[in-house]
């Protein structure tokens, strides 16, 4: 009998390996019955892991770390999982051709940001997908790199990535940092223009992992490697140029048809095999050391005051440092 596993994920293109593995019955091939559970927000992902609604999730390291340390109500054992993707996040600001031309023509990006902000009727309101996210840390690094004070010169708001396009169109936010394909979609809809890809801020950074709860792994001791094998097979498919159209169609299919309901044109521009688009996703399941994967995140999380000094023993015991 197949081992069952509920894996939480959001409407993001870098969820593709799990969606593809499910669609092509790769999990069944390896003797596991995986159910992708699409949820609206990262808070739902964390709560699902803590309160037993999910057995695993596609997620970024900062949220996994803070969830493991008990920031969602109680501590649970979460170890680093299978790497899935690198880079791919994008920072965009409200505006169309005029604002974009002004931004790129101004060499001093501090002054360019100030000129852009002056066109608004308020302090720029920039959205990120969760406080404990790579996106928050990357946006913070970007603002620091252009000498903009995040806390005094901007307002940071939290919202699910799939809600950001509508919020941008409604004037509720003035920009965002989000995963693929939402930055590309904002540009294609002429709502915003890209100012930085996450690769230019932290080159090669780990973005998403597939993390399984330690309690589930203990109950299913031989299943973890089978799930990982299926997802690794799917990641290779997601990277193959000849499969780009298939994966794009799958990700843009309705939720009711086991897709993710993503905008097809935007997905096509962020696929790994996209010929000319910058800041594409990179699917990479190769293992790396904790320091090379999480070192910069741990450092920035300490700077934010999320982690105390010295680091909690739990981080070392669980393999995050």
| Residue ranges of domains in the chain | 3-86+206-317, 90-200
- In terms of CATH, what superfamily is 3-86+206-317? Periplasmic binding protein-like II (3.40.190.10)
Cross-sheet strand order for the sheet of 175-178: 155-158, 125-128, 175-178, 90-94, 192-197
> Is the predicted pLDDT of residue 250 greater than 90, yes or no?
yes
Structure-token match 């002004």, residue found: 102
Closest CA to 268 of 160, 203, 185: 185
Least confident of 5-9, 129-133, 213-217, 272-276: 272-276
pLDDT band at 249 (very low <50, low <70, confident <90, very high): very high
Residue 276 CB neighbour total at 10 angstroms: 6
- The answer on pLDDT for 84 being more than 90 is yes
Q: Angle between the 134-145 and 290-303 helix axes, to the nearest 10 degrees?
A: 70
pLDDT tens track for 176-189: 999 999 999 999 99
Same fold, 3-86+206-317 and 90-200: yes
> What is the gyration radius of the CA atoms in the chain, in angstroms?
19
Asked if residue 2 has pLDDT above 80, the reply is: no
What per-residue confidence (pLDDT) applies to 277?
A: 66
Average pLDDT, rounded, for the chain: 95
Q: Is the pLDDT confidence value at 111 over 70?
A: yes
CATH number attached to the domain at 90-200: 3.40.190.10
């Amino acid at each position: 009998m197949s081992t069952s596993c509920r894996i939480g994920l959001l409407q993001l293109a870098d969820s593709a390996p799990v969606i593809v593995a499910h669609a092509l019955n790769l999990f069944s091939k390896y003797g596991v019955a995986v159910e992708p559970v699409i949820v609206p927000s990262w808070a739902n992902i964390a709560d699902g892991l803590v309160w037993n609604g999910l057995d695993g999730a596609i997620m970024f390291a900062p949220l996994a770390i803070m969830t493991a340390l008990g920031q969602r109500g109680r501590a649970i054992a979460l170890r680093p999982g299978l790497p899935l993707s690198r880079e791919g996040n994008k920072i965009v600001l409200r505006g169309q051709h005029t604002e974009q031309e002004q931004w790129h023509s101004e060499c001093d990006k501090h002054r360019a940001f100030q000129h852009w902000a002056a066109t608004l009727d308020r302090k720029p309101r920039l959205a990120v997908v969760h406080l404990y996210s790579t996106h928050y840390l990357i946006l913070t690094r970007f603002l620091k790199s252009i000498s903009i004070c995040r806390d005094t010169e901007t307002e940071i708001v939290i919202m699910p990535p799939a809600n950001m396009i509508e919020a941008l169109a409604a004037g509720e936010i003035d920009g965002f940092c989000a995963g693929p394909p939402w930055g590309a979609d904002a540009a294609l809809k002429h709502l915003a223009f890209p100012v930085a890809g996450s690769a230019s801020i932290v080159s090669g950074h780990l973005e998403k992992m597939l993390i399984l709860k330690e309690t589930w792994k203990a109950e299913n001791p031989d299943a973890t490697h089978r799930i990982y094998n299926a997802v690794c097979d799917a990641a290779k498919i997601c990277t193959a140029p000849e499969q780009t159209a298939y994966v794009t169609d799958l990700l843009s299919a309705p939720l009711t048809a086991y897709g993710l309901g993503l905008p097809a044109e935007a997905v096509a521009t962020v696929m790994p095999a996209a010929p000319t688009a910058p800041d594409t996703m990179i699917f990479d399941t190769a293992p790396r050391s904790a320091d090379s994967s999480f070192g910069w995140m741990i450092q920035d999380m300490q700077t934010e005051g999320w982690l105390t000094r010295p680091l909690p023993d739990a981080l070392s015991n669980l393999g995050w440092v």
